[in-house]
Structure 1
C-alpha cells in the first residue's frame, strides 16, 4: 500500500482554543479531581474548578506584568504541576508558550530566547533564573521563578500572581475570547540531531486536531473510569505535551514526577492506569528486572518467564493459545509478571511509547506480562502522533495506523509523507527550512523511510539522512540492528557506522548500572575503561552482536565493533532530550575509534 487515509473522528471549529477544555471542565464537573500535585511528600487533589481559578490568577498576573496577545513567554523547567499550570495561564493571557529543556546549555537558551523574541521567562529554580539573566545580557525580558529563594522576591511566581489581584474578573475571559484555532499556541524548538534548533510553530488548532482525534482513537486508554497517568517525560517535548492536553481534554487524572530518582516510588503511590515512556525506559525496566533476577540466583527463571511472555503475546496474534502455554503463563504471572507490573504502580494496563523504535521483542514481552505498549509515530512538526497502534489490535514492530484525519503516503523513494489537521504550518523565522519540509499543498516530508501494509499499519525502517551506503552499494538502516544489539543488559547505546566503507561496524557504550553488579559478581573492577579488553565482557558483547545480526542480511550485519569507555548522554550533548543519537556529534567525537574499526 502506498497511501492510507483515516477520516477525522473529531473536527476543530474556527473559534476553538486550548483554553476551552479547562473552562468546560470547571463548569460541567467542578468537583472532579483533575490533578494530583506533590507537596511536601503528599499528593494533593486539585479539582477542575480549582485548577481554572489557579490558571486565571496566574494569567491575570501575566497580563498585569505587561504580557500582550501574541507575546512569547518562555518556560524553562522540569516536568511538574506548575509547568501545566503556566502553560494554560500563558494561553489564557493570549500569549505563546516557548518551552525550553532544563538541561539546555546557556548557548541554546540564549538562541531560543533571542530567536523567539520572548518578552518573559518563567524559570524553575534560582540557578536557571540566573542562567537566563546571564545570557540575556541586558535584553528586555522579565524573569519569573517557580521555586527557591529568589534573589528578588518580587520575581517569584507568588509575586506574579499578586500583580493581577486588581484586575477585573473578566479580564482573562476577554483574552480567551480573542483566541482562534489559527492562533499560535507554542514555539517548540526541535532538539535536532544536527544543526541549530528550529522553532516549530504550532497553533491551538494543531493541538486540538491532534488531541481530540488521538483520544478518540485511544478511547480504551483515555475514556475509562478511574483513568490516571503520571507524567515524567519532559513537557518541553511535544510527546508529553500532547498527553498532558489529552488528559485534560478527556478527564484523566494527571500527576507529575519531576525527579527520575523518585520515579518508582511515585509510580507506586500514584498508581497510573497507563503510562507514557520512550523505549529506553522500557529497556531499562526489562534489563533491571533481569539483573535483579541474576543477582538473586533466579536468572534462569526470569529468562524462561520472558520467553513465555513473548510466546504468549505472539500466540494472541495467531489467534490460538495452547493450554500448556496458558498454564506456564499463569505460573510466571504469580512468580514474575505481577512483580514487574507492581514496579509501574500495579494498575497500568497500557503504555504509550514514542520517540524511537520500541522493537518487536519488547512489545511482545510487555503485552505478555499484561502491559500492552501502544507504539506510535510522529514528530514535533506533526504535533506528536500521526500514527498509533489501536488498543484492540496492536501489531508489534509497527507504529500503528494513521490518526483520524490523517493521510500517510509513501513516496517513490520510501519517505513517509503526512497531511492532516495536526501538521504544522512552518518554522518560526525560517522560510527556507519550511519550504524544504512542507509542500504548498500541505504534504510534510518526515525524513523517515517506511512501509504501509495492506491494513494501513506503518513500519519505520530508518531515517532518510541516516541510511548508510556501504562501499559495495548496500543500503543499511541503522535502527533495526541497533535496537536488537541494545537489548543486551550490559549495553547502553549503539551507533552503527559504515558509510562508504567495505563493511558495517558499530560503536558501543556500556550501561554503568548493569556493569557494576556483573563485574563484582565475577571479581572484576566495575569500570568501563578497565573492562574494554576483558575476555568475558567481550564475549558478552559478541553475543549481543550475533543476536543483532540475526535481524538483518549478511551485507547489513556488523562485522566489527568497538567499545568506547564513556556513555553518551543528554548532558554531554551526544543525545537529544528524547534520547535520540546525535550521530554527527558522536562520529566527530569518535573519529579515531571509527578509523580503528577499519584498520586505519
Structure 2
C-alpha cells in the first residue's frame, strides 16, 4: 500500500463527489470532483515525466494552499518522486538553502512574488532544471520557467501511462523543519510512515465523505499535510481552501466546515473576541453570559466524568445555547463536529470554555519526525490539559530525564544528508528522542511540560518550564504574547506584547489620557494593571516560578521579523538577542 494507491482508490470510490473547493478572487467557492482531481494529477504527472523527472528525484513546492498544491503533491508521488514542500513565507535565502540541500530538480511556485525569490537564487542551485508557476503570467515567461497549465497540456498529449514501481518503503517527502535555531534539517518520511499515521488516525476519528474541511494551515507543515490533506481525501471528504489566514472567519461562513484543524492561536483569538464583546455589553448581558458559561461548564464536567446531565441541566443548557452560544457556533459555520488543535500547547481553559459552549477541541501531539502524530485526544477518549493517549501501533515512554521518547512505524527514516543528526535523535534500539519533557498519567494521557531546550535554569539551580506559565498569562485579555527569560538569573522576567486594542479601551475607560502607545505602556496605571494580571493568574505556581519583572513591547512578535516559525512558535534565541538591552534593563542589579 502506498499514498498513490490510496489516492487512486479514492478517485475510483468517490468519482463525482467534490474533492477540493477554492474561491477565485472576487468569486464564490467552486468544487473540483474526485474524477476531475484524478485527471489533473494524471496529466501533471505525465508532464513531470516529460521533463525527465523520475523515481527518487526531488520536486519542491513553494506555494500557499490551493488545488494546484494537492495536484502537484500527488503528481510527484505518481512518478515516484519526492515532494519537498516549503512555507510560502520563507525568504529567498532560505528557499535557496533548501533547494540546494535537497538537490531539487524542479520547483513549483504559486505567484510572481514566489518566482522572484527563486530567480534571485537560481544560479546558486546547480541541481535546479525547471521552474513551474501556477498563476498564468501576463507578460513574457522567462526561458527556464513553465506555466502549470502548459505542463498539464504537455502531459495530456502523452498517450502512454506512467508505470513506476513504488514501494511503501520509498521516500515520499523531505520536510525541512522550521527550527527555532540554525539551518533546518530535512526530515525524510516514507509512504509507510504516512500510512501508519493515517491508519491510526482513522481508527480514532471517523472522517467520511459527508465531511467538509476548511484548510488554512500551510500544507507544507506535516500536521496539515496528514490531517487536512491525506486523511480527508482518502476518506471521500471535501477540502475547501481558505483564501488566506486573514479570511478564515469569512471562509468558515462560506463553506460551513464539519472538521477543522488549527494551531491554538485561532481558538485563543476567537475566545478573546467573545470576551471583548461581553465586556463591551451591558451588565445584564454580562450576567447572562457568565450564567451560560457556568451551565455549559456543569454539563461539560458531567460528560468528562462519564455521566449525563440531568433533565433540568439539559433544559438550562438549551436556554444557554440560544442566549449565549448560538453566535459562536454560527461563526464556525453552524455544522462543526469538532476542532483539532496541534502545533503548540492549547491552554486548558480555552478547551474548557469551548466545550462549555458545546464545541469540542481535540488536542494532539507530534513532530515532523513522527509523521506527525504520537498521541491524540479523540471523540471517544479525551482529557483537557493533555495531548491524549499514544495512537495505536506505536510505543511511547518517558526517559529518565523526563524526555518523551517514541518508537514505531511513524518514526522518520532520518535526516537527509545528515547522519550525525539522525544518530543523535534515534538510538540503536529505534527510539526517537522528541526533545519534549512530559509525563504519562495513570489513565495513559500524555501531558507536555515544555521543550527540553526551553527549560530556564535559574542561578539557584531551580528549573522553570516557561510554557505552562506563558499559557496561563496569555489568557489575560490584556496580554497578547509573552516570552519568559531568566536563564542563570536570580528570578523570572517576561517580555510582554500587550493586547493593544484592549489596553487602549481600558485606558480610555479609566481616564488614562495618552494617545501615544509608547507613552501609554510606560504609565504607572498600565504597569500596575499588567502586574495585577500576572499576580492573579500565577497564584498556583511556586515562588521561584513567579514573574518578578516585565517589559512591555510596542510591536508583536512576527514571522516577518524572524521572531516566529511558520507554525507561530517563538524563536526564543532570536528574540533574546534582539531584545538583549531590554532584558538587561530588567536585571539592573546583575549588570
Cα distance between partner residues in 2 of 1:449 and 1:525: 44
Q: Work out which of the residue numbers 491, 494, 497 in structure 2 matches 1:509.
A: 497
How many Å separate the matches in 1 of 2:332 and 2:197? 27
The answer as to whether partners of 1:123 and 1:143 remain within 8 angstroms in 2 is yes
Is the alpha carbon distance of 1:303 and 1:537 closer, same or farther for their aligned partners in structure 2, counting shifts above 3 Å? farther
Decide which of 187, 192, 206 is 1:200's aligned counterpart. Answer: 187
What residue in structure 1 maps to residue 56 of structure 2? 70
Residues 331-340 or 161-170, more deviating: 161-170
Q: Displacement, 1:526? A: 6.2
Q: TM-score, normalised by structure 2?
A: 0.93
Aligned residue for 1:39, secondary structure, equals coil
Alignment of 1:112-123 (within 5 A): 112-123=98-109
Q: Residues 85 and 521 of structure 1: is their aligned pair in 2 closer, same or farther, counting only changes over 3 Å?
A: farther
- One of 240, 259, 263 as aligned partner of 1:255: 240
Contact 2:47 2:153 in 1 (8 A): yes
Within 2, Cα distance between the matches of 1:207 and 1:235?
A: 14
Q: Does 1:164 align with 2:155?
A: yes
Map Cα deviations across residues 461-495 of structure 1 (whole Å, 9 max, x no partner).
Answer: 11111111212221111110100101112222111
Unaligned runs of 5+ in 1: 1-15
Are the aligned partners of 1:182 and 1:203 in contact in 2 as well (CA < 8 Å)? yes
Shift in Å, 1:228: 1.2
1:563-574 aligned at under 5 Å gives the runs 563-574=552-563
Structure 1 match to 2:254: 269
Any conservation in 2 of the 1:480–1:551 contact (CA below 8 Å)? Answer: no
Corresponding residue of 2:275 = 290
Aligned counterpart in structure 2 of residue 553 of structure 1, from 532, 542, 552: 542
Residue deviations 1:16-50 (CA, integer Å, cap 9, x gap): 21111221122233222222232352222222211
1:593 aligned partner: 582
Q: Following the alignment from structure 1 to structure 2, what is the Cα–Cα distance between the partners of residues 304 and 528?
A: 36
Give the Cα separation in 1 of the matches to 2:473 and 2:295.
21
Q: Determine the structure 1 residue equivalent to 2:5.
A: 20
The one of 181, 187, 192 equivalent to 2:168 is: 181
Q: Find the counterpart in structure 2 of residue 241 from structure 1.
A: 225
Q: Deviations over 1:79-103 (max 9, x none)?
A: 1222111111111122111111111
Q: Alignment partner of 1:409: what SS?
A: strand
Instruction: Deviation per CA, 1:494-529: give whole Å up to 9, x if none.
Output: 111121211111111123454455555567556542
Judging changes above 3 Å, is the alpha-carbon distance between structure 1 residues 589 and 350 closer, same or farther for their aligned structure 2 residues? same
Contact 1:22 1:48 in 2 (8 A): no
Q: Which runs of 4+ in 1 moved over 6 A?
A: none
Distance 2:268 2:553 in 1: 20
- Return the match for 2:480 from 492, 508, 517: 492
Q: Does 1:339 align with 2:327?
A: yes
Going from structure 1 to structure 2, the CA distance change for 1:64 and 1:498 (only over 3 Å counts) comes to same
Q: Following the alignment from structure 2 to structure 1, what is the Cα–Cα distance between the partners of residues 467 and 349? A: 14
Equivalent position to 1:373, from 342, 361, 371: 361
Residue in structure 2 matched with residue 12 of structure 1 by the alignment: none
Q: Which range is displaced more, 96-105 or 467-476?
A: 467-476
Q: Paired residue for 2:214, among 207, 230, 238?
A: 230
* Shift in Å, 1:144: 1.0
Q: Hey, what does 2:24 align to over in structure 1?
A: 39
Report the more deviating stretch, 131-140 or 518-527. 518-527
Contact 2:40 2:152 in 1 (8 A): no
1:280 Cα offset (Å): 0.9
Cα 1:477/1:67, change in 2 over 3 Å: same
| Alignment-derived partner of residue 346 in structure 2 | 358
1:579 aligns with 2:579: no
Q: What SS does the aligned partner of 1:447 have?
A: strand
**2:48 pairs with 1:48:** no
More relative contact order, 1 or 2 (CA 8 Å, 6+ apart)? 1
Q: Matched residue pairs, number?
A: 578
Q: What RMSD, in angstroms, separates the aligned Cα atoms of the two structures?
A: 2.0
Q: Distance in 2 between matches of 1:273 and 1:332?
A: 22
Deviates most, 151-160 or 258-267: 151-160
Residues 559, 141 of structure 1: alpha-carbon distance in 2 compared, 3 angstrom cutoff? same
Q: Deviations over 1:420-441 (max 9, x none)?
A: 1111021011111111111122
Q: 2:507 matched to 1:544?
A: no
Distance 2:80 2:500 in 1: 46
Distance 2:6 2:205 in 1: 18
Q: Distance in 2 between matches of 1:148 and 1:308?
A: 54
Q: Tell me by how many angstroms 1:568 deviates.
A: 0.3
Relative to structure 1, the CA distance from residue 101 to residue 522 in structure 2 (aligned partners, 3 Å threshold; closer, same or farther) is farther
Counterpart Cα distance in 1 of 2:515 and 2:212: 40
- Alignment deviations for residues 363-395 of structure 1 (CA, whole Å, 9 cap, x no partner): 111111111111000000001111001212210
TM-score after normalising by structure 1: 0.92
User: What corresponds to 1:483 in structure 2?
Assistant: 471
* CA distance, structure 2, for counterparts of residue 468 and residue 521 of structure 1: 38
Q: Residue 399 of structure 2 corresponds to which residue in structure 1?
A: 411
* Structure-2 residue corresponding to 1:155: 146
Deviation at 1:320, TM superposition (A): 6.0
CA contact (8 A) 1:200 1:428 kept: yes
Shift of residue 410 of structure 1?
0.4
Please give the per-residue CA displacement for 1:178-234, whole angstroms capped at 9, x wherever unaligned: 111111111111001111111101111111111121111112xx14x6211111111
CA distance in 2, matches of 1:458, 1:150: 53
CA deviation map 1:321-373 (0-9, x unaligned): 46665554333311221111111111112111011110211111111111111
**3-state DSSP of counterpart to 1:42:** coil
Q: Residue 125 in 1 paired to residue 111 in 2? A: yes
